[in-house]
Structure formats: C-alpha cells, structure tokens
Amino acid sequence: MSASSPGQKRRAAATSRQEIVEQAECYVRARQGTAVPISELCRVVGLSERGLRNAFHSVRGMSSRQYLLTVRLHAVRRALCDAAHRPATVTGVATDYGFYELGRFAAAYREVFGEAPSETLRGACRARNADS
C-alpha cells in the first residue's frame, strides 16, 4: 500500500491548479479579441466556477473573472496604441472587446493604466500625426 504524505498531496494539488490555470490562459490567448465567458472556460478546464476561481486565486492571486478583465483591458490598450496606424474611437475599440458599459470600462481602464482610454488614444493620434 502506498500512503501519500500531506505534503505530497499539497504539491500535487498545487501542480494540478497550475496546470488548470495554464490550460485556461492558453484557451483565452487562442481566442484573443473575443470575450470568453467564464462558463465556457469552466467547461474547457472541467471545473465549476468556484473551482476555477480558487485555482486562479491560488496560482495568480486574482480571480478568473479578474484575469479575463485584465486580458481584455490590455487588448484594448494595444488597440488604442495601434491607432497610430489606423483610425479608431474609444467606443469602437471598447465594444470590439466586449465592453458595453463604457463608464465602468473607463473606470477599470483608468484603475489599471492610470489614464483614461481617451488619453491613450490621443497619445496614439499624436504619434500618428508626428509620423506624417
């Protein structure tokens, strides 16, 4: 009979959580530019919403929902910065990434990046005009 020590079980659980989070992140990266619902992510990794949230908290220090929000906000920022190469509006970019409550989007964006999305866009526009 093989008995596992509590330490071995904890390490195995931590490895399992790490693998689950990596699988979820890989799935989200493969669908960049699309808002991935938590329910879909749960199906992909085979966990409940609570299990997925706990795995993310354990591995990344944030919930799965917060992770998805952060990924989308960074995608919006890249798109706004790329506006130096093509015309864009904050509303258009935000809705492209699934943000439809623009006030909440702007507040979350400011919290993460320290500036309003319009400021990011203006910076990109200045860069575009400087290149002309």
d(Cα 85, Cα 95) in Å, to the nearest integer?
A: 19
- Token readout for 17 is 């959580």
Model confidence at 35, in pLDDT bands (50, 70, 90)?
A: confident
Residue position matching structure tokens 């220090």: 61
Spell out the domains of the chain, with CATH numbers in brackets: 6-131 (1.10.10.60)
What are the pLDDT digits (tens) for 70-115? 999 999 999 999 887 778 899 999 999 999 999 999 999 999 999 9
> Minimal CA–CA distance to 44: which of 70, 22, 66, 15?
22
pTM above 0.85, yes or no: no
